[in-house]
């Protein structure tokens, strides 16, 4: 188990700094903000892809949703802990360089408590999400499950399916390609994968538990301990919040793309 933790601590920081160095040498016209944001999002996409692959492997291997186990569960949780910790730092770097790029001559000369506070104010929910995964989800998975429910932990891994597409979207925005068809198509994929794997996944898990024990879906919650239902609600709530933000963003993008067409139609009518 220690090997998985050490491996994660070497792989994710090493990958981030390697991508950053390569981009600096191959994309000399990019700003420091472009390089850092793209590096951070590519790192996130890699982790999301690995988590999804691990989740699909576990879910497809567990016939009994409660008692079947898979070695990959605990190993990948430990492997992912360094990523969650390091990604907070990588997100801060992205925020710092992006704000410096926007502020120009008025930008802060270096890192300070003020720049950290600004980052925490902007991305507090993501920081809280990562911190909770490290200090709450990880101990529960490793020490308090008594070896039960590997299937459901695998389902939690699959929630990362949308992450690579979210990362691609942010990269396209950073590179000023947010008005392209590629960005529109990627946005639709983000909405589909996010809704399917981060929201519909929860009733799916309840349905699988009910099917295992012959319980109707609408009765499953009453057969589970209170802390299980509360835990699922705590996990689901931020997903619903983020999905609403994605829908609003998609609406703004749609209206912005429609506006030139409407203006052109008005001119033709005149």
What is the predicted pLDDT for the residue at 105? 62
- Other residues' Cβ atoms within 10 Å of the Cβ of residue 267: 8
Q: What's the mean pLDDT in 191-215?
A: 97
Residue 266: predicted pLDDT: 46
- Asked if pLDDT for residue 270 goes beyond 60, the answer is no
Q: Cα separation of 116 and 220, whole Å?
A: 44
Burial of 65 (0-12, 13-18, 19+ CB in 10 A): buried
Q: 234 or 102: whose pLDDT is higher?
A: 234
Least confident of 64-68, 102-106, 216-220: 102-106
The residue behind tokens 């981060």 is: 198
Q: Is the pLDDT of residue 98 over 80?
A: yes
Query: For all residues of the chain together, what is the average pLDDT?
Result: 92
| Averaged pLDDT, 190-214 | 97
Q: Which two tokens stand for residue 157?
A: 């891994």
**pLDDT value at position 264?**
55
Between 146 and 79, the more confident residue is 79
In this model, does residue 268 exceed pLDDT 70? Answer: no
From CA 27, how far away is CA 84, in angstroms rounded? 27
Mean pLDDT of 59-72: 96
In the numeric block, which tokens belong to residue 187? 């946005």
Domain that holds residue 93: 2-269
Overall domain count for the chain: 1
Name the DSSP letter for residue 133: I
Mean pLDDT of 72-80: 97
pLDDT at 260 over 80: no
Q: What is the pTM (predicted TM-score) of this model?
A: 0.90
**Is residue 170 a contact partner of residue 191, using CB atoms and an 8 Å limit?**
no
Answer with the residue of higher pLDDT: 171 or 108: 171
């Amino acid at each position: 188990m220690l090997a998985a933790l050490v491996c994660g601590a070497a792989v994710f920081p090493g990958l981030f700094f390697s991508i950053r160095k390569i981009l600096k040498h191959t994309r000399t016209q990019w700003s420091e903000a472009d390089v850092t944001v793209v590096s951070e999002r590519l790192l996130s996409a890699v982790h999301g892809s690995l988590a999804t692959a691990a989740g699909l492997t576990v879910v497809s291997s567990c016939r009994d949703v409660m008692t079947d186990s898979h070695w990959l569960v605990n190993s990948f949780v430990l492997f992912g802990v360094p990523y969650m910790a390091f990604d907070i730092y990588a997100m801060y770097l992205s925020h710092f360089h992006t704000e410096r790029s926007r502020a120009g001559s008025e930008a802060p000369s270096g890192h300070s408590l003020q720049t950290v506070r600004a980052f925490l104010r902007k991305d507090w929910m993501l920081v809280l999400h990562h911190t909770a995964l490290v200090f709450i989800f990880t101990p529960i998975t490793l020490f308090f499950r008594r070896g039960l429910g590997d299937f459901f932990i695998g389902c939690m891994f699959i929630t990362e399916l949308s992450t690579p597409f979210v990362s691609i979207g942010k990269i396209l925005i950073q590179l000023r390609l947010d008005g392209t068809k590629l960005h529109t198509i990627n946005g639709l994929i983000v909405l589909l994968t996010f809704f399917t794997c981060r929201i519909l996944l929860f009733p799916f898990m309840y349905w699988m538990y009910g099917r295992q024990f012959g319980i109707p879906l609408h009765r499953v919650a009453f057969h589970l301990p209170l802390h299980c239902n509360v835990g699922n609600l705590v996990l689901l709530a931020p997903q619903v919040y983020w999905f609403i933000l994605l829908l609003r963003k998609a609406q703004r993008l749609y209206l912005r793309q429609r506006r030139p067409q409407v203006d052109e139609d008005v001119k033709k009518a005149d």
